[in-house]
Each structure stands twice: as C-alpha cells, then as structure tokens.
C-alpha cells in the first residue's frame, strides 16, 4: 500500500486500471485540443500529481505551442518531478507547475477562465456526494462557456460511482461529450462541456475538501 501520494504514483507502473484510465484521459485531452479554436488554449490541472496526463498529451500534439496553464499539486516531491518534466519538455514558458493547495481559489488567479480543466483522481477522495456537488458546482469559477472538464472516478464494492458524477455534472450545466469505462470495468473517465457563463473567481475561497489518503487505494477493488 502506498504511504504517500508520491508512492501512489508508482501504481501507474503495474495497475492496469490506472494505465487504462491514463490512456483515456490523454485521448480526451487530445480531442479537446483538436477542437480548440485557433489561439491560446488555457489549461488548469487540479491536484495534478506529476502532470503525466497533460504532459503525455503535449509530447506529440500539434497544438502544444498554443497551450498555457497551471498545474497545482500539494505534494512537494510530485511538484518537483512535474516541474522537471515541464522543463525537459521545453514548456516552462507556457506551463507553471505550482506546489500549492488546489482546493483554494487563489491558486488559479491569473490563469482562468480555462479552456480545459483536468480534475482526475479527485472525486474518489471526497467525503460525500454533497462535497462532489460543491466541487462541481464551483468549477464555473475556473470555466467559461465551452470549457471542457476531464475527470475520473473509480467504482468500489460494485457501486458505479461514476454514474453519480455524470448526474451531478448534468445538474450543473455541464453537457457530456464522452464517457468511457476502462477495460477493467471499474473506472469511469468522462469529458464534459460547460454551457453556463462562468462565475467570478474570488480570493481564498475553498472550492472543495480533499480528504482521501493514499493507503486506502486498492488497485483490485477500491478505485480513486
């Protein structure tokens, strides 16, 4: 069992569910860049880990030169690894990898509204459906009409938690663009498009509470 979120990322080397999820997230990222209008494409990644989803996509996408944004991650080792990856990809003028609190609205000052918001590996780390509603209800402070949100949600104990996520997005002015389950059948990945007008970003607003811990993750049955 991983003791830290840094160790948790090693599961990407062995866990088919995480590997398949990453592949779908990158595919959605790729599609959203493909359909972005000419000009700058702003991206924010909330609880970014080491940024492998975004950076993996940008490694080969023709719109990479247009992508600007911020990745926010609390774990210092992951942020360090992410920064190094941004530098070695030659993207440090475009992407900021911030070691900070992604639950605090101030972390996004200067980079929103974003065209693409990555919220992967978060929904399974919220305490309740009410907290999920709070987070999705607050995404409009990062968004504008037409913004994409790319997300993941694992299933556990036979409960298809991703269905709840789809419902909450629907109720919050987000239209589903695509949804897929991993081949393992127990991890949902979705991309939704915001149809509202966005909300103003205020300082120091708590957008959600991340309450999950890495050692609860079980690659066989409990998915984040």
Ligand X SMILES: C[S@@+](CC[C@H](N)C(=O)[O-])C[C@H]1O[C@@H](n2cnc3c(N)ncnc32)[C@H](O)[C@@H]1O
Stretch that binds ligand X, among 36-44, 67-75, 109-117, 173-181 (CB under 6 A): 67-75
- Reduced to 3 states (helix: H, G, I; strand: E, B; else coil), residue 38 is coil
Stretch that binds ligand X, among 35-43, 58-66, 70-78, 185-193 (CB under 6 A): 70-78
Exposure letters 143-179 (e unless 16+ CB within 10 A, then b) = bbeebbbbbbbbbeeeeebbebbbebbeebbbeebeb
What CA–CA distances, in Å, run from 71 to 5, 97, 116, 117, 170? 16, 5, 12, 10, 26
Quick one: which of 41, 43, 58, 78 contacts ligand X (CB under 6 A)? 78
> Residue 190 interacts with ligand X (CB under 6 A)?
no
Phi, psi dihedrals of residue 182, rounded to the nearest 5°: -65, 160
Stretch that binds ligand X, among 55-63, 71-79, 181-189, 190-198 (CB under 6 A): 71-79
> Residue 75 interacts with ligand X (CB under 6 A)?
yes
Whether the Cβ atoms of residue 61 and residue 30 lie closer than 8 Å to each other: yes
Site residue total, ligand X (CB under 6 A): 16
Distance CA 148, CA 155 (A): 23
Whether the Cβ atoms of residue 140 and residue 166 lie closer than 8 Å to each other: no
Q: Which is nearer to ligand X, 81 or 166 (CB)?
A: 81
Q: Which is nearer to ligand X, 46 or 173 (CB)?
A: 46
> Residue 148 interacts with ligand X (CB under 6 A)?
no
Q: Which is nearer to ligand X, 173 or 210 (CB)?
A: 210
> Residue 120 interacts with ligand X (CB under 6 A)?
yes
Stretch that binds ligand X, among 43-51, 143-151, 156-164, 193-201 (CB under 6 A): 43-51
């Amino acid at each position: 069992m991983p003791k830290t979120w840094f160790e948790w990322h090693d599961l990407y080397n062995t866990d088919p569910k995480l590997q398949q999820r990453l592949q779908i997230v990158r595919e959605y990222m790729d599609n959203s860049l493909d359909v972005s209008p000419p000009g700058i494409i702003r991206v924010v990644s909330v609880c970014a880990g080491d940024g492998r989803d975004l950076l993996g996509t940008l490694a080969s996408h023709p719109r990479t030169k247009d992508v600007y944004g911020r990745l926010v991650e609390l774990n210092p080792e992951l942020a360090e690894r992410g920064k190094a990856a941004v530098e070695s990809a030659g993207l440090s003028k475009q992407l900021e990898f911030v070691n900070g609190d992604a639950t605090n609205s101030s972390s996004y000052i200067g980079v929103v509204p974003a065209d693409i918001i990555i919220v992967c590996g978060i929904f399974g780390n919220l305490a309740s459906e009410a907290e999920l509603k709070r987070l999705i209800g607050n995404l409009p402070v990062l968004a504008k009409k037409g913004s994409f949100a790319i997300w993941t949600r694992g299933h556990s104990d036979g409960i298809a938690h991703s269905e709840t996520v789809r419902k909450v997005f629907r109720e919050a002015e987000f239209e589903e663009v695509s949804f897929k389950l991993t081949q393992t059948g127990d991890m949902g990945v979705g991309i939704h498009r915001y149809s509202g007008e966005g909300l103003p970003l205020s300082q120091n607003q708590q957008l959600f509470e991340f309450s999950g811990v890495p050692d609860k993750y079980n690659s066989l049955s409990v998915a984040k």
